[in-house]
Amino acid sequence: MKKIAVLTSGGDAPGMNACIRAVVRTGIFHGMEMYGIMYGYDGMINGEIQRMESHAVSNIVQRGGTILKSARSEMFRTKEGRKKAYEQLQKHGIEGLVAIGGDGTFTGAKVFYEEYGIPTIGCPGTIDNDIFGTDFTIGFDTAINTALEAIDKIRDTAAAHDRIFFIEVMGRDSGYIAVECGLGGGAEMVMVPETKTTLNEVVEKLKGSRKTKTSSVIVVAEGDEEGSAAEIMEKVKHTINDDSKDFKVTTLGHIQRGGSPTGKDRMLASRCGMAAVEGLMNGQANCMAGIIHDEVVYTSFEDCITKSKPLNRDTLKLIEILSI
Ligand code: F6P
């Protein structure tokens, strides 16, 4: 293999740049020609493919976002789009791919590999930490630290006014961010898509904690089955029906996706990036390079996409215990 291209796809995550840097430099170290594809699979279809020398990735290890830009490609879901993408790779002589992203990215990579056989390895880049085959995903540690900083600030003002705050964090299908932030941020409760929490339980919890506490924080993952934090707050407020209680909502939103990656994320990104390139050199394909128990592990895209990584029940229990 002489020519490898790298792309970032789906929601960006802090540490993607550190991963791109590791992919490009590992490839160059091993004597390969490295290429960057702009805007994920859309750029592959449109031929936005450019050579990357070592200096192209200078001074990016500390930067959030992705220098290759990212997109969620609709065209790549179609046979016609993937054919165009293949033709572009052929035109540039690309023999291997590294796809940095989440399960959507890997689903696309798997279908493409099955159709055209271009060896592809993924790196787990998503703040959601919901990928099977790796203990952590690139960007998760930064995202939770960003969210925790915000939650700490909200707690200050919540305490000053004796208020009840519902704080919405990201996680359309996964509660990893909510659970880590709920524990670290001292929340009364977390609401996540993986477990059912009824509105009645929320009301009871708040009534109970008002006996000992003057302010409360509930962390809600955006994908919770009861709705958004704003919707849940309205329903709870209506049920409690007490004008002396002051309810507020804060949606943290995309600030969780930005910012300089933490040391942990830079380390994870660099290791996965190197493992992806070396995996391709050693004949691996159609899989993701992740880290489990501090060791590089290659997991098939099939498993990454179809198997779920369950939340740690002990952590959920711990939140309950520590919030009495
Ligand atoms: O998958 C990462 C993620 O940040 C999710 O937590 C969130 O639901 C989604 O992306 C938001 O995507 P977008 O930026 O396209 O609205």
Instruction: Kindly state if the Cβ of 172 falls inside 6 Å of ligand 1.
Output: yes
* Arithmetic mean of pLDDT over the chain: 97
Protein residue whose Cα sits closest to atom 12 of ligand 1: 11
Q: How far is the CA of 11 from the centre of ligand 1 (A)?
A: 5
Residues 126 and 103 in one domain: yes
Q: Residue 79's pLDDT is what?
A: 98
Is 318 within 8 Å of 179 (Cβ atoms)? Answer: no
Give the orientation angle of helix 229-240 with respect to helix 199-209, to 10 degrees. 60
Instruction: Kindly state if the Cβ of 128 falls inside 6 Å of ligand 1.
Output: yes
**Number of the ligand 1 atom closest to the C-alpha atom of 177:** 6
Place of tokens 């840097």: 21
Q: DSSP of 19-54, one letter per residue?
A: HHHHHHHHHHHTT-EEEEETTHHHHHHTT-EEE--G
pLDDT, mean of residues 309-318: 95
Q: Residue 209's pLDDT is what?
A: 81
Residues 42 and 111 in one domain: yes
Q: Confidence class of residue 201 from pLDDT cuts 50, 70 and 90?
A: very high
SS3 84: helix
> What is the tens place of the pLDDT at every residue in 139-184?
999 999 999 999 999 999 999 999 999 999 999 999 999 999 999 9
**Number of the ligand 1 atom closest to the C-alpha atom of 222:** 8
Is 321 a member of any domain? no
Cα gap 229→151, rounded to integer Å: 14
Q: Is the pLDDT of residue 202 over 90?
A: yes
The structure tokens listed for 82 are: 């993937």
126 is an annotated ligand-binding site residue: yes
Is 204 a member of any domain? yes
Protein residue whose Cα sits closest to atom 8 of ligand 1: 172
pLDDT, mean of residues 116-131: 98
Residues 185 and 131 in one domain: no
Q: Which of 128, 137, 194 to mutate to test the pocket of ligand 1 (most atoms within 8 A of CB)?
A: 128
Instruction: Kindly state if the Cβ of 127 falls inside 6 Å of ligand 1.
Output: yes
211 is an annotated ligand-binding site residue: yes
**DSSP E strand stretches across the chain:** 3-8, 33-37, 49-51, 96-101, 120-124, 163-169, 189-191, 216-221, 246-251, 287-292, 295-300
Cα gap 23→7, rounded to integer Å: 10
Place of tokens 């009824």: 198
Q: Residue 244's pLDDT is what?
A: 87
**Number of the ligand 1 atom closest to the C-alpha atom of 10:** 1
Q: Residue 210's pLDDT is what?
A: 72
pTM of the full structure:
0.97
Residues 28 and 176 in one domain: no
**128 is a catalytic site residue:** yes
Residues 26 and 151 in one domain: no
Count of the separate structural domains present in the chain? 2
Residues 7 and 125 in one domain: yes
Residues 15 and 97 in one domain: yes
Is 5 within 8 Å of 86 (Cβ atoms)? Answer: no
Cα gap 138→200, rounded to integer Å: 36
Residues 68 and 125 in one domain: yes
21 is an annotated ligand-binding site residue: yes
Q: DSSP of 158-171, one letter per residue?
A: HHHHTEEEEEEE--
> What is the tens place of the pLDDT at every residue in 39-98?
999 999 999 999 999 999 999 999 999 999 999 999 999 999 999 999 999 999 999 999
Q: Is the pLDDT of residue 198 over 80?
A: yes
Residues 18 and 109 in one domain: yes
User: Residue type for 177, please?
Assistant: I
Is 124 a member of any domain? yes
Residue 218: give its domain's CATH number.
3.40.50.460
Q: How large a percentage of the chain has pLDDT more than 70? A: 100
From the candidates 12, 42, 128, 141, give the one annotated as an active-site residue.
128
Q: How far is CA 236 from CA 141, 169, 247, in A?
A: 31, 18, 9
Q: How far is the CA of 126 from the centre of ligand 1 (A)?
A: 9
Residues 56 and 92 in one domain: yes
Tell me the residue range of the domain where 163 lies. Answer: 143-257
Residues 50 and 93 in one domain: yes
